[in-house]
Structure formats: structure tokens, C-alpha cells
Chains A and B, each alone.
Chain A
Amino acid sequence: MGDKTMTAEEVVSRLASGMTLGIGGWGSRRKPMALVRALLRSDIGDLTVVSYGGPDVGMLAAAGRIRRLVTAFVTLDSIPLEPHYRAARERGGFALTEVDEGMFQCGLRAAAQRLPFLPVRAGLGSDVMRVNPDLRTVTSPYADGETLVAMPALRLDAALVHVNRADRLGNGQYLGPDPYFDDLFCEAADAAYVSCEQIVDTAGLTKGAAPQSLLLKRLSVTGVVEAPNGAHFTSCAPEYGRDEEFQRWYATTPWPEFAARFLGSDEAAYRAAVRDWRKEEERKEEER
């Protein structure tokens, strides 16, 4: 059984411009931000990004890396509207496939099951049908004759997710209250890269945690990256909550300034820059 551990840079070296990339988590919750930061340090672009969107989408949009976004929403949760995403949309920065949350889940499920589509009631009657002229309906062959949306599979070239713990083989575990859709993202993708707070021995996964917390199976995981604090500044329960102060700074700072200060070098430099930022903020607070 192979050791799948790698660095974030190695993950990025396996990605390429033009790919369809699924990003796990939800809004500003347990996003694989360390992997997104590594992606931002590369010159990969022209991406089709599939995400329940949060700052992952905001950053990639601000940096001009997205050709098309597939989503149901983009939000920072405590800040309802993602400012960098909004700005990019309002300047026509990329193409958008806007579907409902349930349709999105259906699309991932269809991809995971290698089906061309799955029927879903959501979308009918709404402008999701208008803004996605390629969407088709399907009629039940049974007596009800009901017409439903045929949500196409959201097949991914690669998926990026972040969980609490994993072993070197790619068995991934979440310890917070919500798995989100990270297993579906991995199963819908040709290659799935999992960052985690901590790599542990396989036996360590079930010490003090129930087996149903083992969300990701190694057969659908390609690479494992140990990235402590790797969801920062989004939440990663129970390890840490959202860094609200830093998120607010991200949301109110012009993108070039943010990128120059935090995304220049590597993850260690990012962490150091965040520490410096925090000290500076505390100093400002004391002076007030």
C-alpha cells in the first residue's frame, strides 16, 4: 500500500490550466485554503471551479484564475456577500453556471456514480433553467409522467478538500459536526488531494473517534498533505473556528495588497505573515 503523502507544491504540480477543479467545504467552512494558496502561487489558470463557494472562490476570482464557476452561492457566512467574487462578477470576470444547492449535490452524486444525470425537482420554474440553456428535463416513464430536471454529472479532473486527520494512505477523517460534501467531491474526481490538520497512524484514526467519522476512503484519494491550520481563515471544527478578524481584513483590503502581503512565498511565510498582522492589529488596538 502506497504512501500518498506529498507537499502542497507537489499537488499543484499535478494540476494544469484548463482543468475542472472541485473544492470541498462549504462557504467559509473547512475550505482547503492551504492548497488554494499553493495554487495561487502557481501560474495555473483558465479553471472551471466547482464549489459551494467561499473565500476559495473569492481569491481565485480576484486573481483571475477562473474561466467558469459552477456554484449555488458564494458567501463568507459571517459576511454574507463575498466582496472579491462580487467584484469579479460585476466586471464580467468569468462565466457562471448557477445552479441550486440540491442540483449541485445531484450533479456530484451523478459523477460519483458514473451516471450521465440524476433527476431532481429543484430548478423547475426558476431562472436556473433560463441562465443554463443547456439544462434538459427528463420525463418519468411511469404512470405519474412527471417532468423533472436532468441534472448532468459534475465530473471533476481534480478535487481539493481539507479534513481534520488522515493517514498516509488517504483515509480521511472529519471531527466537526458536518462532513459537508467532501467525500462526493473526491468520488466525483479523477484525482483527489486531501490536506489535513494532522497525519496519524491508521490505528490512531479510530482511537477516541467513531468509525463513521472516517469520511474519505483511500480508494478515492490520490494525495495527502499535512497542513496544520490549513483551512485558515475558514473554520475547521473542533480544531479552530473561523478567524473572523482576519476574514474581515481579507474582505476589506484591496486584493493586490492582500496578495502581496500573504501569498508571495510559501505556507510557512503565510503563517508568519498572519502572526505579524495579528501583532500589528493588537498594537493598533492598544494605541486606541
Chain B
Amino acid sequence: MRFTRAEYCVIACAEAWRGAGEVLASPMGLIPSLGARLARLTFAPDLLLTDGEALLVRPDGTPEGWLPYRQHLELVAGGRRHVMMGASQLDRYGNQNISCVGDWALPRRQLLGVRGAPLNTLNNPTSYWVPRHSRRVFVERVDMVCGVGYDRVAGLGGAARFHRLARVVTDLGVFDFATADHSMRLVSVHPGVSVEQVREATGFPLAVPDDVPFTREPGAQEVRLIREVLDPAGARAREVPEGTGS
């Protein structure tokens, strides 16, 4: 069977929640949402999911709890959560920017603002999803540190004890920070992507092991769930179209 790039991305996102246990999965973006729900329906059945607003819901939509924003913020501070955020910029130590591009005082492009990124990154495991891997996103230095990277927590002492950047998933591959200096490392490339292509699209030196595996294929049950249950209309192809990738 042939799988689309978007389907590899869904699998790679789902894997972020493997072994997470009974915590809230907070995916932002379509493909991370598909990944979280896929994980919940297969190898991570204890995950909690929201309806995107104030309800905790089972995969069929049945409400099982209440989580308004005020409680969501408390829950983040309590740490029982793994969030996958987007990133307008991301650097080699995992500093993330969603606030603005250029000088903060008079930005060239105003974006969302820091949102909850400072809170998230100091309190619960954080992953990132980047649908278009490019040098515009993967930069040497982000313009505004919203999500906190490993070099920035080094001096924080005890307040940094809950900081963990689990993985970065892009349309080209999967990355983590499991190097001696916590700089970003290539973990796998999606089938059809070369290591050289990833290096080319990354604006800083990337840690690359000698052997880079391919991102795993979806299993038969996973493909069925993605195509027939979670995203029958194929919206995933709009977030990661075929024939792109850098």
C-alpha cells in the first residue's frame, strides 16, 4: 500500500504521545489533532482530549469532563499534559516564536503573540509541528523567544525541572533534542525525503546520525482509522499536499 506524506506526518505526530499515560493531549493544527486522536484510539488509550473548546471528550464526541480555559491553564501548571504547538520560527536549541517577525518593538510582521508558549514549555512536555519545513522557520536565532529552548533553561535552576521538548515533526521528518548539548537532531526522514534535502531546508547545523531511518509506516488499522474514521474528507492533504516537501 502507498501512503501519503500527510499520513506519515499523522503517524509521526501520534508517536509523540506514545507512553504519555493518562494526561491531556493538546494538539494544535489539523495533523497533530489527527495524530493525537489516532494515538488515543490505538496505543495510548488513556489520553484525554478536548473538543477544542471547554469539554473533555471521548473520540466519539461523548463529553467526559469540563475544561474551561481557566482550568486548562491550571492543568498546564500541574504538568499532566503534552502539547504540540506550531512554530513560526524554531532554532537549534528549541526556542520557538509565534509572536512576531523582526524587531519586537516595531515588528515587520505581527503574528499571534506569545500565547501560552512560555507557560507550556516550563511546565509540561512540549512538541512542535511545522507543516512546511524551510529556512524561514528553522532559523539560527528566533526573533522572539515564546517557547523556551534548552540553552535558555540552562540557567534557571529549579524552575526548569519540568522543561522537556519531546519532538519536532515536519513535512520532511522527525527531530528531537537528544544530543549532548540538546541541539536539534534528525531522528527519521519520511519516505521520499533525503537527509540532504532536510539539511538544505534547515537554517542551522543539524545533528545527523550516521544512519537515519525512515519514519515508520502506518499499520493496517491505523490507515483505516485515518482514512475512514478520523479524516474521511482528506483535509490532511491540504495541510501537507503531495509533491511538496521543502
Contacts and interface: CB of A to CB of B under 8 A. Distances in A.
A100 B55 contact: no
Nearest to A92: B106
Given A90-B109, A179-B68, A148 B159 contact: yes
B119 interface: yes
Given A72-B115, A122-B123, A178 B158 contact: no
Nearest to B163: A125
Interface in B101-143: 104-119, 121-123
Given A90-B108, A126-B146, A147 B118 contact: no
A112 to B, nearest CB: 12
A90 B110 contact: yes
A209 to B, nearest CB: 15
Interface in B163-186: 163
Size category of the B interface is 35 or more
Size bracket of the A interface:
35 or more
Nearest to A105: B73
Interface in A97-145: 98-103, 105, 120-128, 130-131, 144-145
A130 B99 CA distance: 13
Given A125-B122, A125-B152, A90 B77 contact: no
Given A147-B156, A147-B159, A177-B55, A103 B112 contact: no
Contacts of A85: 110
Contacts of B116: 72, 100-102, 122
B159 A128 contact: no
B69 interface: yes
B145 interface: yes
Interface stretch (A1-9, A73-81, A159-167, A223-231): A73-81
B122 A122 contact: yes
B2 interface: no
Contacts of A90: 106-110
Interface in B66-120: 66, 68-70, 73, 76-77, 99-100, 104-119
Contacts of A100: 114-119
B230 interface: no
A89 interface: yes
A124 B117 contact: no
Contacts of A73: 112-115
A181 interface: yes
Interface string B30-60: 0000000000000000000000011100000
B23 interface: no
A180 interface: yes
A90 B111 CA distance: 10
B146 A147 contact: no
Contacts of A180: 68-70
Interface of B: 53-55, 66, 68-70, 73, 76-77, 99-100, 104-119, 121-123, 144-148, 152-153, 156-160, 162-163
25 contacts: A72-B115, A73-B112, A75-B112, A81-B111, A86-B109, A86-B110, A90-B107, A98-B104, A102-B73, A102-B116, A103-B118, A120-B77, A122-B77, A122-B116, A124-B156, A124-B159, A124-B160, A125-B122, A126-B117, A126-B146, A126-B147, A148-B159, A178-B53, A179-B70, A180-B69
